[in-house]
Structure 1
Amino acid sequence: MIYFGIPLRSKETSNNWDKVTEFFNRTLWSVYNQTDPDFRIIVACHDIPKLKHEFDGRVEFIQVQAPIPHTKEEMMLDKGYKVHTIGMRIREYGGGYTMMVDADDLQSNRIAEYVNKHPNENGFLSHNGYYWHVGDNYIKKGHKFPNGSSTIVKYSVEDLPDKYYDKMVASVNSNPHIIRKKHGDIPKICAELGRPLRPLPFIASIYVRETGDNHSLMNKDESKFRVIEQKLMPKIYINEKVRNEFSIDWM
């Protein structure tokens, strides 16, 4: 079993809720179309968006009671609160492989099948990913994939929180649970705990840029090196194979 967790920002804090909903629907559809049906999707949100497709009981929405954030710091705390909520729900299910997914990125339909075929691994790591700028008809490959959709960790019940912290904070390394630590440091932390993550043998995610509105935009690295790298990488036009694997049905 693999759990996909998606923290979604609130309608009140969105510049364009319709656009947030549009990109979220694309993300949800790409995650839902796994070739292996043994998965669950847990969305933590304030507002349940209007859905474009029909989904079965493997898709679950949890409406949080957290305060509406207004500042950047509050936004990151809000995301951490929602990740925490997802972690508590996965604990109730008994734990398992968990992949946190940014609410605007696209996921390969091969993830669940590969993970479920390797039940003895500590988890998996995606070193590389594709980038897609909204409006383009091509993607580009990138290295040191920076998005929130790059690690899959096998959590036991004991690894996951059973309640909210007395003082909720953003995802930082001082938090006691791995799932609540800084996302980019989780592979290193797992290795230090003797639980190294295994590289995925395929690209699992498309990192979507210029969506204009989501939690993940506050952390997406736009370094000069990455911009130059992207300009030099060859274009990979979105063909039928890419469409099918990442459930791209709007182009």
Structure 2
Amino acid sequence: MVVFIIPVKSQRVSGSWNQFSKLFERTLKSVSNQTSPNFKIVVVCHEKPATKFEHPSIEYIHVDFDPPNLATVEKSKHDGLKEEDKSKKILAGINYSEQHNPDYLMVVDADDCISNKIVEFVDKHKGSNTNGWYLKKGYVYREGDRFISLNKENFNTLCGTCIIIKPGLIHRIFKNVPHLLFVHKTTSFEGNIELLRFPFPGAIYSMANGENHFMSNDKIKSLNSGNIFSLKTIKSIFRKLGKYRIKPLSENIKNEFGMYEIKNS
């Protein structure tokens, strides 16, 4: 069994709770659309987002610690507080998931989408010598675009939705300096323990959706002084990086990942 853990930000730190709830609902639908039924979804939150979507594999748990109080610190520390809050929720989800005796755990960010083939693949390839996988390949998508970019080289360094791992190892992904942090780019551990490369693109990283604090519209604009939202400019940036291939957002991709357009509220 695979248990998906989805940490959810508090309404108190959301720019638009309505917008975030729409993104979260899309994520739930995406994760629930697995071709194998051998999974559970654990949502960890302060408040349940506004969604009517239900699935028998979804379970909600509510944390009792306070959400980040961004008003008490300078803006430069906001991201750190949000990441610490997220990491504490992931830990709560890990502890809760023990009752399901999972073979593997996967953290999914609340605004991303995943391939519906993940659990089926894990079912076929799990074993005592398979510690887990990391997503070297994945898609990067700016909300509203007709195109999507395939990162072929280092998707796991960009997106938190990137690791499928045995429960006994997942605690080793966290660090405590300068604050509690889930280090999703981790691929190896002491003792010659390695995660395998997942063989196909496994997730879509949603950016510029209004609720992603690392890839907001303002941060994307800062990457280039020109028209960052033109297809020509995006292609130029990605080609320079040498890690991306731009392709149309096809019906096949939409169906596999449960991707659909969400307009900003």
Q: Which category describes the TM-score, using the shorter chain as reference length?
A: 0.7 to 0.9
Q: Which residue of 2 aligns with 1:208?
A: 206
Residues in 2 aligned to 1:85 and 1:183: alpha-carbon distance in whole angstroms: 17
1:43-54 to structure 2, matched below 5 A, reads 43-54=43-54
Residues in 1 aligned to 2:52 and 2:42: alpha-carbon distance in whole angstroms: 17
Query: What amino acid is aligned across from residue 9 of structure 2 in structure 1?
Result: R
Q: Which residue of 1 aligns with 2:159?
A: 147
Residues in 2 aligned to 1:70 and 1:86: alpha-carbon distance in whole angstroms: 22
Is the CA contact (8 Å cut-off) linking 2:18 and 2:50 kept in structure 1? no
Report the CA distance between 1:234 and its aligned residue: 4.5
Query: What amino acid is aligned across from residue 86 of structure 1 in structure 2?
Result: G
* Cα offsets for 1:15-67 (capped at 9, x unmatched): 111111111111111110000010011110011112243311x1011111111
Q: Which residue of 1 aligns with 2:228?
A: none
Q: Which residue of 2 aligns with 1:166?
A: none
CA, structure 1 residues 154+229, in 2 after alignment: closer, same or farther (shift >3 Å)? farther
Task: Return the TM-score normalized by structure 1.
Answer: 0.82
Q: Which residue of 1 aligns with 2:111?
A: 104
Q: Which residue of 2 aligns with 1:237?
A: 248
Unaligned runs of 5+ residues in structure 1 are: 162-169
Query: What amino acid is aligned across from residue 60 of structure 2 in structure 1?
Result: F
Q: SS of the counterpart of 1:235?
A: strand
Q: Which residue of 1 aligns with 2:140?
A: 131
Asked if 1:65 is matched to 2:64, the reply is: yes
1:216-235 to structure 2, matched below 5 A, reads 217=215, 229-230=237-238, 233-235=244-246
Asked if 1:90 is matched to 2:90, the reply is: no
Is the CA contact (8 Å cut-off) linking 2:139 and 2:205 kept in structure 1? yes
Residues in 2 aligned to 1:149 and 1:29: alpha-carbon distance in whole angstroms: 15
Residues in 2 aligned to 1:76 and 1:173: alpha-carbon distance in whole angstroms: 11
When the two chains are superposed, the root-mean-square deviation of aligned CA atoms in Å is 2.8
Q: Which residue of 2 aligns with 1:247?
A: 258
Aligned length: 231
Task: Return the TM-score normalized by structure 2.
Answer: 0.78
Unaligned runs of 5+ residues in structure 2 are: 71-77, 225-233
Q: SS of the counterpart of 1:53?
A: coil
Structure showing greater radius of gyration is: 2
Query: What amino acid is aligned across from residue 144 of structure 1 in structure 2?
Result: N
Q: SS of the counterpart of 1:68?
A: coil
Is the CA contact (8 Å cut-off) linking 2:42 and 2:58 kept in structure 1? yes
Residues in 2 aligned to 1:103 and 1:215: alpha-carbon distance in whole angstroms: 12
